[in-house]
Amino acid sequence: MQHIDHTPKPTLLSRSINLSRINWEVVAFTLVIIASIVAHLWNLERMALHHDESIHAWSSWRLYTGAGGFNCWSGLDEEGRPRGGVSSLTYCYDPVYHGPSLYYLTALAYFLFGDGDAQARLPMAVAGVLMTASTWWLRPYLGRSGALLAAILLTFSPSLLYYTRFARHDGLMVLWEIWMLIGALRWLDTGRARWLYLTAAAVALAIATHELYYILFFIFGIFVLMRLLAESRFARYLPMFLVGMMGICLLLMVFNPRIPLGKGLYFGEKAFLVASAFLLAWLCQRLWDHTPRLMPRLQELWATQRDSLWVALAILGGIYVTLYSSFFAYLPGALDGLYAGLAYWLGSQQEFARGDQPWYYYLMLLPLYDPLAVLASLGTVAAMVFAVGQHVLRGFMARRQAAVAQPNAEEEEEAKGKPKKPLVSPALAAPAAMPAPLRVWELYPLLVVFWFWSALIIFSWAGEKMPWLVVHMALPGNLLAAWVLARLVRAARAAATPRIWLVPLLTALTLVAVAVAFWRLGMGGTGQEAQRNLLQGIVPLVLAGGMIYWLLSLGNALGTKAVVAAATLAGACLLGGYTLRATALAVYRHPDTPIELLVYTQTAPEVPRYAATLHELAINLTRGQRTSEDAAGGLRMPLIVDGGNSSGDGSLAWPLQWYLRDFQRATWLRRDVYYDNPTLSAFEVDFPDGSSGLAPVVLLYKPHVSEAVRSVLQEAYVQPYGPTSVFNWWFPEGDKCSPQSAGYKRFYYSTWTRAEEQTAAAAGGEGRVVVGDCGDIREQLNGPFDVMLWPFQRQNWDTLYKFVLYRQLPTPLVPGAREMEFWLRADLAGGGGAAVTTTAASGPELRLLARGVATMPPESSGPTGSAVDAQGNLYVAATGSHQVHIFNSAGEFQRSLGGFGNEVGQLYEPRGVAVDAQGNLYVADTWNARIVKYDASGRVVTTWGRGEQDLLDGRRATITEGDPLRNEANPLGFFGPRGVAVDNAGRVYIADTGNKRIVVTDDKGTFLYQIGATGSAPGQFNEPTGLALDRQGNLYVADTWNGRVQVFAPDETGRLGMIPIVTWNVSGWRANTYDDPSIAANPDGNVYLSVPSRNQVMAFNLRGDLLLRWGGPGDDFASLNSPSGVAVAPDDSVWIVDRNANRALRFVLPEVRSP
């Protein structure tokens, strides 16, 4: 009888979980993946969409909504530019905007989650997470610890994380690149079809994403070609092939003939790339295992796995054709994708050189953001060269010894009368003369190091150098760093003793001691100061020597290899800590502020806020005119946006096309319509109800707003966000045509740059000599290696230190910017888009004439803070000359206090000053990190405050970074205090600028309390500078980098509250600037503040209403040039420190009624 088993077969959901597979490796890797998800998705909409991001987001939105209007490839015109003129209702390929994958993936994100800034970046963020997860497949090459390290490095690399949270194609390409690497290596090792399929899919997706796949195919193609040649029957000809290729490349580099195809292309630079790639590949092939692997695998594929080959080709072709033909809706795209990208790049982009960056651009970015990748790559190449060189040298010595030994043996035989014969047969003698074979390297590190250096060379040569392209070097660099670190971990573990943990500790202490020694020895000085610095430098050197001796002793006991590995890992951990901090700063702290080299033409943070205001205003205006297409109302409000001139220059299209995508009546107004003969009628629009009138909102590019245009607009419009606002901004690069100026582009041309004689016709007159596209700057040029030597020159260390650690731009560099103006129809100023806080914006603009002047002494420089005492005497802090100047009420100079130094009675760049009722003077001695109190006779009474750190140039500071706990632990530890004020009770208020707080002490320096910490919420600060008090004891704080004034009221005991009673924004106070704006208040609560960037002073009431503003650049008594200090005299006149004119002006203000 047959037994029938009725037990149900287990299904996926009923199957038991095998917990035995879960080990600490799985747990650790899972935690890294979770960290990657958080890092990539958290606050993804934090910054405004960049110019390029907005184009991609908007195009994807049109694809998602079916709006159409896509430009298609139609070839190049006679000047090498895209011809245009062909459009499609669905997506079609145009190499200007790269491949289709980004647009379809972003449209999918919109479909799933709706449209928005975060959704536009979501595909790249997901690709970043998958890139991290893919390192699990690299365990055969990196080992368990190496794969985990690779996941960590790829997750927290500043450049990779920044641009996988960025709506550009590069965030997708890095995923396809790592899949190509994994698929190819795993297929080569295992022969399994799934890895071949992964490679095919990655190749297809790369082709469908970005034209730089040509570069990737060149890099990988050279490596594969060298491997095939080494495994073929032509292997013995490989050295001759390489010599021949090098010779041809050398000839092409010397004669540099022009390439007949494309524009501005020459054979010489291409030959350099080919020669570099082959040289690197030759170095790799000397070290790899010469056992045939690739050729047998290809033969096996063709002979026994041909079905897998056809499936792989079908995957590649299917993905390519489907995406490029827009799912078969635009069939010409399948052909365009084969050649259009290369034609466009060679035809116009290479010569156009977008970004116009120097050849050393990526040599700045990579060490700054991925130092571990750079050092690992340098170390690996050094090890390769050492191994090959050592092998060659040993071979040479062995052959030389054999050549000497053979004649000597023959002479001995002849002397004994024996017939001459070889001691051993030639077959046995040859191997004896050869050195031991080279130690074989794995294929993985050779391929990755070849990828990194080839990419660095090619992208440095390419005309277009943009910061996002750095990811294509950071990816292989970090993958190689993981391999190097994994080997170091294995070597350190070999010691198998707890004493190995002493090595990282001793290494860190040694590095600190050496750094302190060099810092103190480099300070110099005279007399006792020099002796003190010498002693303080020698002591840590002695300590470092003792720790180095201890390390050497551990090397003898534990093994040199293990100790060196542990010491190197300690250094890597320090660099890893720096990398994490760089990630936090670039990705989360200020991703849209151009003090990072990764930030390029970034949309300013104000722009999304303007868009939100427009949406709110539009809903309020049109909520009664809802339709089926506009259910909430608001989309049909008309508005005017600057469309630029006839060529599009000055247009505000990107990113406003994206942020205003829902507005159905946005008019893009050409400059010609309103600029030449401006009238209000130029700003009239049609409303949804059929009427016409002035547009509710007008957005214009600032250079297009002439005085005539401004006068017309002021008849009917106001500016709620101030006279101007930043539209987009960029990192200050310097001027390549001014080699002696500041900025990294001053090394763009060097003495090696060939000057050319320009013909009279080309010069527009007489012929002249030009260097590049500059004039004759031959006398100013730097040497060819100056850019590489700059970081090692001691005079640059302070600048380098401040930028690397704090992203502090050196003087006089400031971010470049394009500005816009927001004009709101006056009758709408009270509604719709009213902000939570009042905005210092518009108001009566005057050309007040100064009634008095105080001229700084000849030796004075950089006047900033100011104060006036009860007798009307004026006190001015001369920051540049480290003094305080005193003038009488008529502006006549009386005397000076201070002088450079840190001793009693000396000052270091003082800024804020204040005077109490007894005539005592309080000075914010900024870089001595203290407050200095003088009595009425000018004698120092006391000082308080401390700076625990010396910032290399004698500047002292206690740095808490505004952290509340660290602030509490260092109540009188100051970091660059700039503002000081004193009330009638003798309480002294100090703006501890760098530590983002206000410290309150008594007049003897006893700490009372503090308010604030770092942040932008009410009661928090970002670089507070000026302080002022009114009769009621209200404290006004110039919260400079938050661009606002905060007013704090005292309680019945006189203690200030922690939350401001009033806050208003100040247009013109920007983050990451060092203009030292100031603030003052008269007894009645009128507030005066300076805006140095706009050469203006503004007056407000306590509510933050703008009463008037005056100033403007010039050299008369009505002009102000970067005004700084503001002080109110007893007669209510106002002294303004006119910093750039080295003077102070006294103004008598007209009576102004508050709104």
The residue whose two tokens read 């080699």 is 739
Residues 127/174, Cβ–Cβ less than 8 Å: yes
954 closest CA partner among 997, 912, 903, 913: 903
Domains of the chain listed by start with CATH number? 604-730+818-835 (no CATH), 744-814 (no CATH), 841-1147 (2.120.10.30)
What is the structure's pLDDT at 635? 77
* One-letter identity of residue 450: F
Q: What is the 3-state secondary structure (H, E, C) of 286-312?
A: HHECCCCCHHHHHHHHHHHCHHHHHHH
What is the structure's pLDDT at 761? 42
Query: What is the C-alpha separation between 556 and 559, in angstroms, rounded?
Result: 6
Task: List the alpha helices (DSSP H) in 834-928.
Answer: none
Alpha-carbon distances, residue 107 vs 66, 91, 102, 103, 121 (angstroms): 10, 11, 8, 6, 11
A 10 A CB-CB count for 773 gives 9
Query: What is the C-alpha separation between 122 and 164, in angstroms, rounded?
Result: 9
What is the structure's pLDDT at 625? 61
What is the structure's pLDDT at 767? 53
Spans of the chain below 50 pLDDT: 262, 423-432, 758-765, 831-844
Residue 346 is given by DSSP the state I
What is the structure's pLDDT at 7? 63
CA angle 140, 145, 151 (to 5 degrees): 85
What is the structure's pLDDT at 135? 98
Residues 125/104, Cβ–Cβ less than 8 Å: no
- Kind plus residue range of the DSSP H or E element containing 577: helix 560-583
What is the structure's pLDDT at 691? 82
**Cα dihedral 23/29/32/34 (nearest 10):** -80
Q: Where does 546-653 show beta strands of DSSP type E?
A: 602-603, 639-642
- Kind plus residue range of the DSSP H or E element containing 968: helix 964-969
What is the structure's pLDDT at 737? 87
Question: Which string of b and e fits 687-712 if b means at least 16 CB within 10 Å?
Answer: bbeeeeebbbbbbbbbebbeeebbeb
- Kind plus residue range of the DSSP H or E element containing 216: helix 213-231
What is the structure's pLDDT at 752? 72
The residue whose two tokens read 């990451």 is 1072
Query: What is the C-alpha separation between 638 and 618, in angstroms, rounded?
Result: 9
Query: What is the C-alpha separation between 567 and 488, in angstroms, rounded?
Result: 10
What is the structure's pLDDT at 79? 64
Residues 470/365, Cβ–Cβ less than 8 Å: yes
